[in-house]
Amino acid sequence: VSSGRPITFTRGVPPADSFPVDEVVECADTILRLDPAVLLQYGKSTGYQPLREWIAQANGRAVDDVLISNGSLQILDFIGTALLSDNDVVFVEAPTYDRAITTFRRHRARVVGIPLQNDGVDIAAFEQALRREVPRLVYIIADFQNPSGATTSATKRRRLVELAQEYDFWIIEDAPYRHLRYYGEPQPTLLSLGPQRVLQLSSFSKQISPGMRLGYVIAPAEIISRLARIAEDTYISPTMPSEGIVYEYCRRGYLERNLPRLLALYRPKLEATLASLRRELPEASFMTPEGGYFVGVNLPIAVSGKELAARAAKVSLVLTDGDGFFPEKPAQAFVRIPFCGITVPEIEEGVARLAQVYRELTK
Ligand SMILES: Cc1ncc(COP(=O)(O)O)c(C=O)c1O
């Protein structure tokens, strides 16, 4: 990688070589010929029925507990419309997915950050915050969190669900990375531990393609019917051809078969990220993700995310404003490294440039 070429540490996108092009084309050809009257028509706002059934069965739930929409972020917005009123409180992990913070705020909620540890939110801090005020929603990315890479332990998952039952709040479990586990054993989903208190969001974006725009939510049926009404008022119908293609893709067992290919593609990139950080930036602290798309890096300097991004731009390293991942400005600089969409040499060069920026700021 030449020193002048920009390296982008901004967006959590898959690389183009991850897309299963031939299989998607094959599935599109089959299903659009088989079911054109449904797939090329306005559809039901709950989604393409065969795909709903497939998702329900894969998760041991009733079909009425599933809604499919144009990406999981869109569903998060519908949840905001359904469940949030002005000044409702939403607890999030700090840091968390920046677009989730934006979405909750757009619904005029007050977003409260609970510090995140290696094994999930700080439960003592969470309980302390609960004693001050009971949130309407708690937003948790339990597996390979965006942006930190943390995975919530089984003990903390159980405690979160107990607290949801005791204090009567909803948990949104956002799980787009759950299947991308490179090491270790899966933990139980929050959904499986508290099916009456959890709305689980999931997505095909990181398993097939984000351009397909397919996400879904599993939740109690009465919530699903509220979301379906909001979806219908918003866009009449979800994008039916995508739903048909993904249904055919799942029905043929391609989803399961594609997964090992993705793991083999991404695991070396995670390893390269961690090795580069240890080599180039021993002063930094970061979690060691067992899967997913991100390594979140804390730098022991008090510069704003904007300032750090401006400094990085001078060495052609493109960073997002790390402060955006926190409801309140963090004390230290935070950098998210989305390692899947770039190559190993780009990761190594990008981390070296980050180290150079850090050295300049601390000398
Ligand atoms: C935690 C999290 N939730 C939701 C999304 C949005 O996914 P989708 O493409 O399904 O809208 C992303 C995408 O990066 C994400 O990281």
Ligand 1 geometric centre to CA of 176 (Å): 6
Mean pLDDT of 145-165: 98
Residues 6+ apart with CB under 8 A from 164: 138, 170, 171, 194, 197, 198
Bridge partners, residue 114, by sequence: 93
CA-to-CA distance for 82 and 172, rounded, in angstroms?
13
**SS3 for 89?**
strand
- Is this model's pTM higher than 0.85 or not? yes
DSSP state of 105: H
**pLDDT tens, 69-102?**
999 999 999 999 999 999 999 999 999 999 999 9
Q: What is the mean pLDDT of the chain?
A: 97
From the number of C-beta atoms within 10 Å of its C-beta (0-12, 13-18, 19+), residue 52 rates as: buried
Choose which residue among 79, 174, 207, 208 to substitute to test ligand 1 binding: the one with the highest number of ligand atoms within 8 A of its C-beta: 174
Nearest residue (by CA) to ligand 1, atom 13, is: 12
Atom from ligand 1 closest to the CA of residue 70: 11
Instruction: For residue 203, give the nearest of 170, 246, 234, 240 by alpha carbon.
Output: 246
Cβ–ligand 1 distance for 95 under 6 Å, the answer no
Rounded-to-integer distance, Cα 355 and Cα 149, Å: 20
Shortest-distance Cα residue to atom 14 of ligand 1:
12
Q: What is the pLDDT of residues 220-235, one digit of tens each?
A: 999 999 999 999 999 9
User: What's residue 11's pLDDT?
Assistant: 86
CA dihedral 239, 244, 246, 247 (to 10 degrees): 140
45 alpha carbon to ligand 1 midpoint, in Å? 20
pLDDT of residue 2: 56
Q: Closest by alpha carbon to 148, among 286, 25, 323?
A: 286
Contact 175, 209 (CB under 8 A): no
